[in-house]
Structure 1
Amino acid sequence: MRKPTIQDVARQAGVGVGTVSRVLNNHAAVRGATRETVLRAIADLDYTPNPHARRIAGGKSYTISVLLPVVTTEFYVRLLDGLESAFLEARYDVAIFPLLDRSRLERYLGSHTLAYQADGLVMATYNLTALLRERRLRTQQPTVLVDAHAEGVDCAYMDNVRGGRLAGEYAARLPGDLYAIWVETELDQLFTTRVFEERRAGFLEALAAAGRTVRAEYNASFDALAARNAAVTLLDAAEFPCTVFASADLLAGALLDEARSRGLEPGQDLRIIGFDDQPWAAARGLTTLHQPVEQMGFEAAGLLLTRLSGHRGPPRARRFEPRLIVRSTA
């Protein structure tokens, strides 16, 4: 059997080929009933648009580039789920570019790399304020920041100061010494993130207001082995009972594992507060700050899609607030 064509869809829906094309491109100038009729014809015929033809016809790639630190952590998997669900619904493909080393970072600052041949650009987590101000970052196409914020660009981000403050206010009420583990995420000083800096600022601010201090602070890079090593170092030096704010659930999970391997009882000998509320957190009884990661990604994608549809207004910021989920570890 031959593959159905756009002409077949138009004939079955009783509309012109141009109307079908506008529906495929998610154009606003199509009435709801007409759009539904066309979509039904597409489904009935099992029609698949030819992406090459779309590119030639519209001068667009129908691709979005997503630049992010890594793709192997739960947070970024969830963030990509939110981004992709919105982009795929609008019939855009997603190209993922993990920023892993200095040479790759420097290459992405140029304007001729594959990442910049997309119709739009999403940059996750990194603080790009200086790069935008110095015009080192090429933003000819619409750009949105997610899990980060800066002036002059659309962004969807978490209020990490508030999250740190909520953790600090709660930890300050618990007995025993207070400890904290932070994530180091700078890549050769070229890109930096304010996420954990802001969580720390909010946490220490809340402790100071309650007349409490942190006995010791530890740092770990964002991987499982480094998290476990930080947990070992902290528990070797800690006096129990105590409370630990682990600024990401990845760190909190490693701390839980190490504590239980030593026969310590989380929630009694050691109280642990995480940040993220990853899917496994409830099953492990982890007290943590919940953040709607998928929703944040979906909202960032929506901001970019409106730019691609012609929105020319001033930059917009969408701020999300975390909330404390109290479970058995604290």
Structure 2
Amino acid sequence: MPTMADVARSAGVSVATVSHVLNGTRPVLPHTRQAVLDAVEELGYTTNTLARSLVTSRTRSIGLAVSAISNPYFTEILQGVEAAALEAGYSLLIADPHDEPEHERKVVQLLHERRVDGMIIAPSPEPRGLLAYLGRHSVPAVFLDRLVDAPAADGSARFDQVCADNAEPTSRLVTHLAELGHKRIGLVAGLPGLSTTTERIMGYRNGLAFAGLPYDERLLVHGASESAGAEQATADLLSLGAPPTALVTGNNAMTIGALRALRARGRSVPGDIALCCFDDFAWADLFTPRLTAIAQPSKDIGARAVRVLLERLAEPDRPARTVRLPCAFVHRTSCGCPDPSGSPSASPSDGPSESPSESPSENLSERGTPS
């Protein structure tokens, strides 16, 4: 197996120069860098990551703990994390905490024992054990998507966090439905305890207040952030004496559950009930009617989390920060509006349409800076 010394001889440079090129520890002249890379390619040299980690105490690896990896939203976040990590020369170790606090702590411990340089975590609704472990072992970590209110002793933030805006986009969906004449607007909210659930409920109530509509606690149900829970929650809403005429769902999985409940009860969208959803996803434009949705910048969230973590590794003592990225309102037809593409709205069904078209969207926030 070729060694770094072999690469140095082939490129006509010192071993130290080869090390600087491969590890990015010092600028190297472009033609010298290229000579080293050509030698690496020609000889088939690979870096001994284990040996390097013993010297530097760094493995150039990142642990990613995210539940429901099969969810398209988190799949796109994973793509953003992976691309940004690879670009920076880091590998990725992935684990699923299943949104269970005890399993979450074990997963984080296992990643830590594998000597990852830092972690990116979408925390569970009850992250006390997680926070205790990270604090006790001083693990560099960035919380992703879901925020954690865990201030330090001086009141400052303890951890870096990256997420989308939640309240304002949800309020936008509610006010849009109110502008269309709806006065009873229901919300299928997510798992209690998650910051995303809390903030979207806040946005829902803010939207009602802005539209001059009263808040009715019977119109707010929890779908546990998954399809089956949302199906039952939507059925509960439909069984009310005065059911909602419009519905907002809190994430993509709950949108599927809500649609199943509506289909099972023969309710058409938007004829019998208008529907808007938080989370745009690949199939949203394939349903008939096409789903009006809030699109989160999923890949950007993942990529930004990596950059924030790398900044933390470079400057361990820098103040923690929270980064919120803007969402977009994607206007389609499930809300009851005419098709923005110009074609008439088709009759409701639960199957894909034959010819999906592009849909306009608008940014709801420009708050992409730390807050």
In structure 1, C-alpha distance between the alignment counterparts of 2:22 and 2:73, rounded to whole Å: 31
Structure 2 partner of 1:165 = 171
Structure 2 partner of 1:259 = 262
User: Relative to structure 1, is the Cα distance of residues 23 and 241 closer, same or farther in structure 2, using a 3 angstrom cutoff?
Assistant: same
In structure 1, C-alpha distance between the alignment counterparts of 2:34 and 2:332, rounded to whole Å: 46
User: Relative to structure 1, is the Cα distance of residues 129 and 99 closer, same or farther in structure 2, using a 3 angstrom cutoff?
Assistant: closer
User: Relative to structure 1, is the Cα distance of residues 35 and 300 closer, same or farther in structure 2, using a 3 angstrom cutoff?
Assistant: farther
TM-score (norm 1): 0.83
User: Relative to structure 1, is the Cα distance of residues 311 and 252 closer, same or farther in structure 2, using a 3 angstrom cutoff?
Assistant: same
Matched, 1:226 2:229: yes
Question: Which of 272, 283, 287 matches 2:286?
Answer: 283
User: Which segment is superposed worse, 228-237 or 132-141?
Assistant: 132-141
Matched, 1:55 2:53: yes
- Correspondence list, 1:242-321, <5 A: 242-284=245-287, 285-310=290-315, 312-321=317-326
- The question of whether the paired residues in 1 share the 8 Å contact of 2:102 and 2:129 is answered with no
Structure 2 partner of 1:65 = 63
- The question of whether the paired residues in 2 share the 8 Å contact of 1:25 and 1:90 is answered with no
1:63-97 CA distance string (max 9 Å, x none):
21222333232222221211111112223222223
Q: Quick check: which one's strand share is greater?
A: 1
User: Which of structures 1 and 2 has the larger relative contact order (alpha carbons within 8 angstroms, sep 6+)?
Assistant: 1
Q: CA deviation at 1:274?
A: 0.7
**What is the SS of the residue equivalent to 1:144?**
strand
Identity of paired residues, percent? 27
Give, as a single letter, the amino acid of the residue that structure 2 aligns with 1:247: G
- The question of whether the paired residues in 1 share the 8 Å contact of 2:101 and 2:127 is answered with no
- The question of whether the paired residues in 2 share the 8 Å contact of 1:97 and 1:115 is answered with no
- The question of whether the paired residues in 1 share the 8 Å contact of 2:226 and 2:257 is answered with no
- The question of whether the paired residues in 1 share the 8 Å contact of 2:105 and 2:129 is answered with no
Aligned length: 319
User: Which segment is superposed worse, 49-58 or 7-16?
Assistant: 7-16
User: Relative to structure 1, is the Cα distance of residues 125 and 329 closer, same or farther in structure 2, using a 3 angstrom cutoff?
Assistant: farther
In structure 2, C-alpha distance between the alignment counterparts of 1:36 and 1:238, rounded to whole Å: 73
**What is the SS of the residue equivalent to 2:13?**
coil
**Unaligned 5+ runs, structure 2:** 150-156, 336-371
In structure 2, C-alpha distance between the alignment counterparts of 1:128 and 1:26, rounded to whole Å: 40
**What is the SS of the residue equivalent to 2:139?**
coil
In structure 2, C-alpha distance between the alignment counterparts of 1:194 and 1:208, rounded to whole Å: 21
**What is the SS of the residue equivalent to 1:99?**
coil
Q: CA deviation at 1:255?
A: 1.8
In structure 2, C-alpha distance between the alignment counterparts of 1:25 and 1:238, rounded to whole Å: 67
Q: CA deviation at 1:312?
A: 4.6
**What is the SS of the residue equivalent to 1:303?**
helix
Q: CA deviation at 1:197?
A: 0.4
**Unaligned 5+ runs, structure 1:** 186-191
TM-score (norm 2): 0.75
RMSD between superposed Cα atoms in Å: 3.0
